[in-house]
Structure 1
Amino acid sequence: MLIYLAIHQDKPCRVTDVAASYRISRNHLLKVALGLGRLGYMTATRGRTGGIALARRPEEINLGEVVRKMEVDFALTECMQTEGGLCAIAPACRLKRVASKALAAFLAVFDDYTLADITGNRDQLAGLLDLPRSMKAA
C-alpha cells in the first residue's frame, strides 16, 4: 500500500483502487490502512474527493521502522515467543540465539532503506500496477 501511495503522490487514492491493482481483498487492505494510519504513515480524508495518501514524504519513511511497527510477532521459533513457548529442549538449545541474530540481521537490512529507495522505479511500478497513463506521467 505504501508503494502504491508513493508512486501516486499527486492526489488521494481510493482503497478500492489499491486493492484492485494488487489483486487483494479490499477488507484486508482496509485493516492495513487502519494500521498505517494509526502509526502516522498514511492519512485518510472522507468525502467525494477524499481518499488515502502518505502522511510523510517517502524519504522520511524508514522500512525497518514500518516493519517493526506493523508486525506483531517476530518469534521465528517457539522459544522466541514472549511467554517462552513450550519447547522441551529450550534449556539446552542454541537455536534461539541463532534465530535472534538472524532476525536482527534481517531487520538491519530494512533499516538501511526508505520508501523512496524502493520506489525510484516509479514508471515500472506504475505499469505493473495497471495505473492509468495519467498517473504514470505524474
Structure 2
Amino acid sequence: MRLTDYTDYALRVLMHLGAHPGEIITSREISQAHGISHNHLTKIVHQLGQLGVLSNLRGRAGGIRLARPPEQIMLGAVIRMTEPDFQMVECFAQDNTCTLAGRCKLKGLLLDATEAYLAKLDQVPLSTLLTPCARLTLPIT
C-alpha cells in the first residue's frame, strides 16, 4: 500500500504543526522546511482547513495551526480524507478492465487488508508521532 505524495505531505504538515504547539506557522515556512512546492502545499493546507483539521488565520500575522489537539486527530481519518479513492489495484476502480473481474478472489482479500490497515491507523492519534525526538529534528521556523 502506497500513499500518494499528497497524503504524505498532509501528514508532514500536521506533524510539523504538532511539533510546534500553539505557534502560528505559515505554509511557506513549512514548504521550505520540508522541500515541498508551496503551490502544492497551499492546496493541501486549504483542504485540511476545509476538513476542520487546521485553522487558517488570515492577515499580516496569519498562518496555520492545528484546529484540535494532536490527541484528537486520528491518522486513519486524515488518510481517508486525503485518499478518497484509495485503490490498491485496478479492480477497485469503477472503470475496471481486468479480465479476471468477477472470478478473482484477490479483490476481497485486498479489501479486507485495506480495511485492517485503515482500522489500525484509526486508533493512532497524531500525538503518537510527536515524540521529543521528532520535535528536535523538525526544522525550527
Name the counterpart of 2:38. Answer: 26
Name the counterpart of 2:128. Answer: 117
Aligned residue pairs, count: 129
CA distance in 2, matches of 1:112, 1:57: 15
CA distance in 1, matches of 2:37, 2:95: 34
Task: Give the TM-score of the pair, scaled to structure 2.
Answer: 0.85
1:1-138 to 2 correspondences below 5 Å: 1-81=13-93, 83=94, 85-119=96-130, 121-122=131-132, 124-131=133-140
Higher Cα Rg: structure 1 or 2? 1
Long gaps (5+) in structure 2: 1-12
CA distance in 2, matches of 1:63, 1:45: 23
CA distance in 2, matches of 1:94, 1:37: 39
Deviation at 1:84, TM superposition (A): 5.1
Deviation at 1:56, TM superposition (A): 0.6
CA distance in 2, matches of 1:84, 1:102: 22
Q: Percent identity?
A: 36
Task: Give the TM-score of the pair, scaled to structure 1.
Answer: 0.87
Long gaps (5+) in structure 1: 133-138
CA RMSD of aligned residues (A): 1.3
CA distance in 1, matches of 2:84, 2:42: 17
